[in-house]
Amino acid sequence: LETISNSLSPSCCPYVVAATEYHLGLLKAKLAKYRAQLLEPSKSSAAKGEGFDVMKSGDARVALIGFPSVGKSTFLSLMTSTASEAASYEFTTLTCIPGVIEYKGANIQLLDLPGIIEGAAQGKGRGRQVIAVARTADVVIMMLDATKGEVQRALLEKELESVGIRLNKTKPNIYFKPKKGGGISFNSTVTLTQCSEKLVQLILHEYKIFNAEVLFREDCSPDEFIDVIVGNRVYMPCLYVYNKIDQISMEEVDRLARRPHSVVISCGMKLNLDYLLEKLWEYLALTCIYTKKRGQRPDFTDAIILRKGASVEHVCHRIHRSLASQFKYALVWGTSTKYSPQRVGLTHMMEHEDVIQIVKK
């Protein structure tokens, strides 16, 4: 595909370019379809072995992904009370080892996954199990060896991309709904430069879809449209953590640190771990809410941890499932209010470190 697209020059006939773009879009759809079939696990019953994934617990889940011997187990041992075996040889960790980071009143589950290798998406080195666990995480920490340059990052991104994990990307703003009849209804609210109605129809026909409503709300590529059709893509934030910075020059450390979504650390010398925790909290987008009983001071020892954008109703459900039905009003102190305390209803949006007092009917 890259060879064909690179061979096109601006001097080519516009009809040839348009036809080639349609053909490329069709090839991308076929490629995505066949890759999905290739990566499906075999249905033959195999002997039952030791379980790989662990039960989800805590307020959030973070997965550590990286090549063997980049420092994942050392990082887990430093950040949690769990001791993960670390040695100078590859594949020291053979299964999923969980630990818990206690930070700002939240319990963050950290999973030390075995190192994955090139071809992990096809099942090499238990790669499928590792990637399957990574799909259940809220944030991925991609641990990289700072002494290896950019090679590891590109290979890992390629492996995760091929199994439908989209790192630091938002879901394409495309409305897509299959119908029982009426053909393909195509509309767009913006000017499209990468997709056209004909290309969209060709891609849908490749997936045996002949009746559907399609509305583009942003200028998306054919690949993003294919992701919407397939519907099983996971969009998650990722922190690229470069370990072993004590072994490279200051100029290289500065260059890596300035890259987007990147943090530089050294597990051996315990450098920059506090900043990594701050960035992790930011990427998890968690908020702490404190409760207060009438006539008493707020309880700052036991916070309610919720996702950013949570309302008073979410707080009620977290305290007790029947509290929302008995809710009368709430008094809130904090940055989400115009004055403190403010009397609010169930739809009021809470912010970090707000204090709430709930009054029942």
Query: Considering just the CA atoms, what is the radius of gyration of the chain in Å?
Result: 25
Whether the Cβ atoms of residue 43 and residue 88 lie closer than 8 Å to each other: no
Say how many C-beta atoms besides its own lie within 10 A of residue 278's C-beta: 12
pLDDT along the chain (361 residues), means of 10: 45 50 74 65 47 70 86 85 58 70 87 66 57 83 86 84 84 90 89 86 87 91 87 88 90 91 89 91 90 87 86 89 88 89 91 90 86
| pLDDT value, residue 136 | 84
pTM reported for the whole predicted model: 0.77
The secondary structure element, H or E, covering residue 108 is strand 106-112
Sign of the torsion angle spanned by Cα atoms 188, 192, 196, 200:
negative
Whether the Cβ atoms of residue 203 and residue 225 lie closer than 8 Å to each other: yes
Whether the Cβ atoms of residue 170 and residue 235 lie closer than 8 Å to each other: yes
| pLDDT value, residue 213 | 92
Domains of the chain in sequence order: 60-83+93-169+234-283 (3.40.50.300), 286-360 (3.10.20.30)
CA distance 262 to 77: 21
DSSP codes joined into one string, 146-192: GGGTTHHHHHHHHHHHHTTEEET-PPP-EEEEE-SSS-EEEEESS--
Cβ-Cβ contacts under 8 Å for 150 (sequence gap 6 or more): none
